[in-house]
Amino acid sequence: MTYPTAPPRLFGDAYAARPHEAIEQLRSLGPVAWAEIDEGVHALVVTSHRAALDLLHDTATYSKDARRWWALNNGHIPPNSPVLALMAWRPSLLYADDVTHQRLRVAMDDCLGRIDLHELEEIVRGHAATLISRVAPSGEVDVMADYADTVPLLAFADLLGCPEDVGVRLVKACQGVINAGPGAGLAAQDLIGCLAEVVALKRQQPGRDITTWMLTHHAQLTDEELLNQLFVVVGAGTIPTAAWIGQSVRLLLSDEQYSSTLAGGAVTVRRAMEQTLRTHSPMANFAVHFARRDTILHGVQIPAGVPVMISHQAANTDPALPANARGARDHLAWSAGPHRCPAVGPATRIAQVAVETILDQLWAMHLTEESVPNRPGPFHQCPIAVHATFKPATATALAAAAPSPGGTA
Predicted confidence band at 406 (pLDDT cuts at 50, 70, 90)?
very low
Maximum distance among all Cα pairs of the chain, rounded to whole angstroms:
65
The 10s digit of each residue's pLDDT in 56-105 is 999 999 999 999 999 999 999 999 898 998 899 999 999 999 999 999 99
DSSP bridge pairs for 311: 285
Predicted confidence band at 17 (pLDDT cuts at 50, 70, 90)?
very high
CATH fold for the domain made of 13-401: Cytochrome p450 (1.10.630)
Ordered DSSP codes for 148-215:
ITTHHHHHHHHHHT--HHHHHHHHHHHHHHHTT-TTHHHHHHHHHHHHHHHHHHHHHS--SSHHHHHH
pLDDT at 407 over 50: no
Are 332 and 52 in contact by the 8 Å Cβ rule? The answer is yes
CA-based torsion, 217, 223, 228, 231: positive or negative: positive
Q: Which candidate, 304, 286, 283, 305, places its Cα nearest to that of 295?
A: 304
DSSP bridge pairs for 366: 389
pLDDT at 405 over 50: no
Are 281 and 381 in contact by the 8 Å Cβ rule? The answer is yes
pLDDT at 129 over 90: yes
Predicted confidence band at 265 (pLDDT cuts at 50, 70, 90)?
low
Predicted confidence band at 392 (pLDDT cuts at 50, 70, 90)?
very high
Question: What would the mean pLDDT of 327-344 be, rounded to a whole number?
Answer: 87
pLDDT at 262 over 70: no
CA distances from 383 to 89, 181, 222, 254, 362 (A): 28, 16, 37, 14, 20
DSSP 8-state assignment for residue 145: I
Q: Rounded to the nearest 10 degrees, how much is the dihedral formed by the CA atoms of 329, 332, 335, 337?
A: 70
Question: What would the mean pLDDT of 363-389 be, rounded to a whole number?
Answer: 92
CA distances from 389 to 125, 139, 140, 241 (A): 21, 6, 4, 23
pLDDT at 364 over 70: yes
pLDDT of residue 179: 64
- Residue-wise over 229-249: b if at least 16 C-beta within 10 A, else e? bbbbbbbbbbbbbbbbbbbbb
Average pLDDT, the chain: 90
CA distances from 247 to 176, 229, 348 (A): 20, 27, 14
The 10s digit of each residue's pLDDT in 168-223 is 788 778 777 766 667 878 888 898 899 999 999 999 999 999 999 999 999 999 99
The 10s digit of each residue's pLDDT in 130-144 is 999 999 999 999 999
Q: Is 35 exposed, middle or buried (0-12, 13-18, 19+ CB in 10 A)?
A: buried
pLDDT at 404 over 60: no
pLDDT at 257 over 90: no
Q: What pTM was computed for the model?
A: 0.92
Predicted confidence band at 166 (pLDDT cuts at 50, 70, 90)?
confident
Are 283 and 315 in contact by the 8 Å Cβ rule? The answer is no
DSSP bridge pairs for 141: 388
Query: pLDDT > 70: what percent of the chain?
Result: 92
- Residue-wise over 259-286: b if at least 16 C-beta within 10 A, else e? beeeeeeeebbbbbbbbbbbbbbbbbbb
pLDDT of residue 374: 94
CA distance 305 to 292: 7
The 10s digit of each residue's pLDDT in 20-69 is 999 999 999 999 999 999 999 999 999 999 999 999 999 999 999 999 99
Domain coordinates in residue numbering, the chain: 13-401
pLDDT of residue 261: 66
pLDDT at 119 over 90: yes
Write phi, then psi, for 186 (nearest 5 degrees). -65, -40
Ordered DSSP codes for 217-258:
-TT---HHHHHHHHHHHHHHHHHHHHHHHHHHHHHHHH-HHH
pLDDT at 283 over 90: yes
Are 102 and 32 in contact by the 8 Å Cβ rule? The answer is no
The 10s digit of each residue's pLDDT in 147-160 is 999 999 899 989 99
DSSP bridge pairs for 42: 36
Query: pLDDT > 90: what percent of the chain?
Result: 74
